[in-house]
């Protein structure tokens, strides 16, 4: 029996949820929901499924849902599905506040169903390959820069863009953040458009994270320095480079390395496939509610530092 899945919110991102879920084996896309009726009709037609205009219409007809409505309604939309024992994937940022995130985590735990959070970069094949090569990063430099968007201007760049890298960094540095310095500047909107945070971890690692939505060039890079090795990830190109100091028999060590083989794939497809498998087998998804909350907590602390600066 295929897993019956519904997508709620088929705007910029949910449209891709619908496209991918319609193509996954062992999945039946039972419907797409959007309060914007023409949008629901358009995306349903493109994916040969039913348009619905209220998430309640999915009740009783789905085994799992993915939610890509604006963040302020994640809790409200997810609540009734979790209470009914339906596994949920909610887009990032998980919720507006940590209190809301705790409510979602509690509801999922009480119902005993998977709750996944859409931190898509974790499924980027370049990040997955790099995670097997990194052993002890001491310094991390992150740049996520983009041109001025026409969306998501109601939230700071920290919650919109930087949170992707905060989640990746937290997943690769196995240590607690002990100190944060941060600065953010509203340049074109009333919200923070460019931000930098310097994070110190208990194990001594430092991460310097920059996110901008007012840049001319699009950059999606993260660089790691660890003893005798340097590794860089280009998220967008799905490229990993690694260079290592190699001590041979001779007097002079050499530097060896170059591009590492990365099997290209669509990160969102991997994320949704992981969720579908987690929902079908009732296992924890790769990025669960606790990890979504962890990234949200760090983004919230950075924003507080920016506000107090």
Q: 225: buried, middle or exposed (CB in 10 Å: 19+, 13-18, 0-12)?
A: middle
Told to check if 77 binds ligand NAD by CB under 6 A, we report yes
Q: To the nearest whole angstrom, how small is the minimum distance from the Cβ of residue 28 to ligand NAD?
A: 20
Long-range contacts of 100-108 (CB under 8 A, 24+ apart): 100/74, 100/75, 101/289, 101/292, 101/293, 101/296, 102/293, 103/75, 103/79, 104/74, 104/75, 104/78, 104/79, 104/289, 105/289, 105/290, 105/293, 107/78, 107/79, 107/82, 107/83, 108/82, 108/289
Nearer to ligand NAD, 71 or 212 (CB): 71
**What is the token pair recorded at 272?**
């949704």
Told to check if 68 binds ligand NAD by CB under 6 A, we report yes
Nearer to ligand NAD, 160 or 201 (CB): 160
Told to check if 51 binds ligand NAD by CB under 6 A, we report no
Nearer to ligand NAD, 137 or 270 (CB): 270
Told to check if 151 binds ligand NAD by CB under 6 A, we report yes
Of all helices (H) and strands (E), which one includes residue 184?
strand 177-185
Told to check if 226 binds ligand NAD by CB under 6 A, we report no
Told to check if 11 binds ligand NAD by CB under 6 A, we report yes
Told to check if 97 binds ligand NAD by CB under 6 A, we report no
Residue 55: what are its φ and ψ, rounded to 5°?
A: -60, -25
Q: Which stretch binds ligand NAD (CB under 6 A): 64-72, 125-133, 168-176, 279-287?
A: 64-72
Q: Which stretch binds ligand NAD (CB under 6 A): 12-20, 79-87, 244-252, 300-308?
A: 12-20
Query: Which positions lie near ligand NAD, rule CB under 6 A?
Result: 8-14, 33-36, 39, 55, 68-71, 73, 77, 91-92, 118, 120, 151-152
């Amino acid at each position: 029996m295929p897993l019956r899945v519904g997508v709620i919110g088929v705007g910029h991102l949910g449209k891709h949820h619908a496209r991918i879920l319609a193509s996954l084996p062992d999945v039946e896309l039972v419907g797409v929901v959007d309060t914007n009726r023409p949008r629901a009709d358009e995306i349903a037609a493109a994916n040969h499924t039913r348009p619905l205009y209220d998430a309640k219409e999915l009740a009783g007809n789905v085994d799992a849902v993915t939610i890509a409505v604006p963040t302020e309604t994640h809790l409200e939309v997810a609540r009734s599905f979790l209470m009914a024992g339906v596994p949920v994937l909610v887009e990032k940022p998980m919720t507006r506040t940590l209190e809301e995130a705790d409510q979602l985590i509690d509801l999922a735990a009480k119902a005993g169903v998977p709750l996944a959070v859409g931190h898509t970069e974790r499924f980027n094949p370049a990040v997955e390959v790099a995670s097997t090569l990194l052993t002890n990063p001491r310094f991390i430099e992150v740049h996520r820069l983009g041109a001025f968007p026409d969306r998501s201007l109601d939230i700071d760049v920290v919650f919109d863009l930087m949170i992707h890298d905060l989640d990746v960094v937290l997943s690769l540095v196995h240590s607690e953040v002990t100190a944060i310095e941060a600065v953010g500047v509203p340049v074109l909107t009333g919200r923070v458009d460019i931000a930098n945070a310097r994070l110190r971890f208990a194990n001594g690692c430092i991460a310097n994270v920059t996110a901008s939505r007012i840049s001319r060039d699009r950059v999606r890079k993260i660089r790691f320095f660890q003893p005798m090795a340097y590794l860089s990830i280009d998220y967008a190109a799905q490229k990993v480079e690694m260079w290592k100091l190699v001590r041979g028999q001779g007097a002079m060590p050499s530097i060896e390395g170059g591009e590492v083989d990365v099997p290209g794939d669509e990160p969102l497809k991997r994320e949704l496939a992981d969720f579908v498998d987690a929902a079908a087998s009732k296992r924890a998804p790769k990025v669960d509610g606790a990890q979504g909350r962890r990234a949200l907590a760090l983004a919230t602390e950075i924003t507080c530092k920016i506000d107090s600066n």
